[in-house]
Amino acid sequence: MALRQIREVGDELLRKRSREVEVVDDKIRELLQDMYETMKAAKDGVGLAAPQIGVLKRLIVIDLSEEGDKIYKLVNPVIVKSKGEQVCREGCLSVPGLLGDVTRPKEVWVEALDEFGKKIKIKASDMLAVVLSHEIDHLDGILFIDKATEIFDDKEEEE
Residue 117 or 127 with smaller CB distance to Co ion? 127
CB of 95 to Co ion, least distance (A): 7
CB of 84 to Co ion, least distance (A): 22
CB of 96 to Co ion, least distance (A): 11
CB of 113 to Co ion, least distance (A): 21
Residue 92 or 108 with smaller CB distance to Co ion? 92
CA–CA distance, 138 with 39 (Å, rounded to integer) = 15
Q: Which one, of 125, 124, 58, 63, lies nearest residue 93 by Cα?
A: 63
Residue 28 or 91 with smaller CB distance to Co ion? 91
Query: Catalytic residue at 135?
Result: yes
Residue 153 is classified by DSSP as: E
8-67 binders of Co ion (CB under 5 A): none
Catalytic residue among 135, 156, 157, 158: 135
CA–CA distance, 18 with 73 (Å, rounded to integer) = 16
Which residue's beta carbon is nearest to the bound Co ion? 92
List the beta strands (DSSP E) in 11-149: 47-49, 59-63, 71-83, 86-90, 98-104, 107-113, 119-125
The letter for the amino acid at 117 is G
Residue 117 or 145 with smaller CB distance to Co ion? 145
CA–CA distance, 91 with 97 (Å, rounded to integer) = 8
The site for Co ion, by CB under 5 A, has a size of 1
| CB-side neighbour CA atoms (13 Å) of 44 | 11
User: Of 50, 92, 99, 112, which one interacts with Co ion (CB under 5 A)?
Assistant: 92
* Residues classed as catalytic: 135
- Interface with Co ion by CB under 5 A: which residues? 92
